[in-house]
Structure 1
Amino acid sequence: MKTPSVIGEDFAGVLGAAQRGDEGAFARLWRDVNPSLLRYLSVVSRGDHDDVAAETWASVARGLTRFQGDEEHWRAWLFATARRRAVDDGRRRARSRDLAVGNGTDLDELCVAVRAARPSVDPADVVLAHQAVEEAVAAIRSLPPLQAEVLMLRLVGGLSSDVVAALLDSTPGAVRVAAHRGLKRLSQQLDRTGVTP
């Protein structure tokens, strides 16, 4: 169930350039994983997941020169950093009793960005794809927290069971069980609503 790398063979070169201060290379790293990161944070963060993502990227930028590893290690480091920022944000909110909720993504901005990046893409297709993704994330968000987080890290983050287990201070077997139970629960929800996968 491992997600294929997006940058692939170019990863070492892109990472090296980003570590030397190349903004274009850092932007490529950001574009590769930020959509997945935001989806993950929308499930595990109780606050404004855009703010938590910004804190995550700021932390990653500060530590980028010290990072060593391949693309899988990069994604694991990024999601571990995001998880820590989400936990910190939750603690701050609990202390201050601030229960503000983020506004989510503006579809108009998304369509403009996609049109600029790929002029041949139909904005209607972007809206439909965005809606499907949001519905899937909402369904995962309805799961018990552990199952939701495991599924987001595995499916959206593209992390292996071993990496997820290390992030969650668990075992790979427990991660696989949580993923299986989460998928089974999602399947039952779809059966109840009459939706066929």
Structure 2
Amino acid sequence: MTSDAVLMARARGDAGAFRELYDRYSDRVLAYHLRRSRDEEAAHELTAETFAQAWLVRARFRDECDGSAGPWLFGIARNVLLQSVRRRQLEHAARERLGMQVATPAPAPDETWLDGLDEALDALPPSQREAIRLRVVDDLAYDEVAASLGTTPAAARVRVHRGLAALRTRLSSKQEAR
């Protein structure tokens, strides 16, 4: 079986290679969104958006997980979900200010998965927290993250990777405790 990293390299010029990656991960990404949104239609929309974003930024993929594109894809899925939550909050606030009524509210992802995120971020070492903010929130390339932090791109990648791993561990243990 061809590794994800090889497929991603091929996907830069071959849509068929990206399709193979989609076939490998689409069910898992859909399940991820379904667990968090608890709405099948929203989960399908979020999954489509995840892969659309992955297609657009496929040239940025770096093999940092022994040939697996899973962590990269789920990072994109998380960002898509977070943007969806934020966008819906902004749209809702704007409708309220304008006094607009919506006949049927659009399904919103379950926001409880965000519980404890700020606390978990605050528990990270400042260098990891800042690296994650620059890479994930500000969507900077690793070269730009490195320049901002005064380090090398490789060191910036390590900080982001370790910080995200620590966040995953903390948030997973909170979910299991529920």
Tell me which interval the TM-score lies in, with the shorter structure as reference length: 0.5 to 0.7
2:87 corresponds, among 74, 87, 92, to 92
Q: Distance in 1 between matches of 2:79 and 2:34?
A: 14
Q: Which residue of 1 aligns with 2:37?
A: 45
Following superposition, the deviation at residue 46 of structure 1 comes to: 6.8
Q: Which residue of 1 aligns with 2:7?
A: 14
Give the TM-score taking structure 2 as reference length: 0.53
Q: Distance in 1 between matches of 2:38 and 2:79?
A: 13
Following superposition, the deviation at residue 171 of structure 1 comes to: 6.7
Shift of the 178–146 alpha-carbon distance from structure 1 to 2, 3 Å rule, reads farther
Q: Distance in 1 between matches of 2:91 and 2:58?
A: 31
The answer to whether residue 161 in structure 2 is matched with residue 166 in structure 1 is: no
Following superposition, the deviation at residue 33 of structure 1 comes to: 0.5
Shift of the 181–165 alpha-carbon distance from structure 1 to 2, 3 Å rule, reads farther
Shift of the 171–28 alpha-carbon distance from structure 1 to 2, 3 Å rule, reads closer
Following superposition, the deviation at residue 39 of structure 1 comes to: 0.8
Shift of the 180–28 alpha-carbon distance from structure 1 to 2, 3 Å rule, reads same
What SS does the corresponding residue of 2:4 show, helix, strand or coil?
helix
Identity %: 24
Q: Which residue of 1 aligns with 2:17?
A: 25
- Which structure exhibits the higher relative contact order, with contacts defined as CA atoms closer than 8 Å and separated by 6 or more residues? 1
Shift of the 180–42 alpha-carbon distance from structure 1 to 2, 3 Å rule, reads closer
Following superposition, the deviation at residue 25 of structure 1 comes to: 0.8
1:105-151, CA deviations, whole angstroms, 9 ceiling, x for partnerless residues? xxxxxxxxxxxxxxxxxxxxxxxxxxxxxxxxxxxx8xx6369xxxx
Q: Which residue of 2 aligns with 1:186?
A: none
The answer to whether residue 177 in structure 2 is matched with residue 181 in structure 1 is: yes
Give the TM-score taking structure 1 as reference length: 0.48
Aligned residues: 119
Provide structure 1 residue ranges, at least 5 long, that are not aligned to the other structure. Answer: 1-6, 103-140, 148-162, 183-197
Q: Distance in 2 between matches of 1:145 and 1:24?
A: 34
Shift of the 26–71 alpha-carbon distance from structure 1 to 2, 3 Å rule, reads farther
Q: Which residue of 1 aligns with 2:51?
A: 57
Following superposition, the deviation at residue 164 of structure 1 comes to: 9.6
Q: Distance in 1 between matches of 2:79 and 2:3?
A: 28
What SS does the corresponding residue of 1:68 show, helix, strand or coil?
coil
Following superposition, the deviation at residue 100 of structure 1 comes to: 1.8
Are the equivalent residues in 1 in contact too, given 2:8–2:61 (CA < 8 A)?
Answer: no
Q: Distance in 2 between matches of 1:176 and 1:44?
A: 13
Provide structure 2 residue ranges, at least 5 long, that are not aligned to the other structure. Answer: 93-101, 116-160
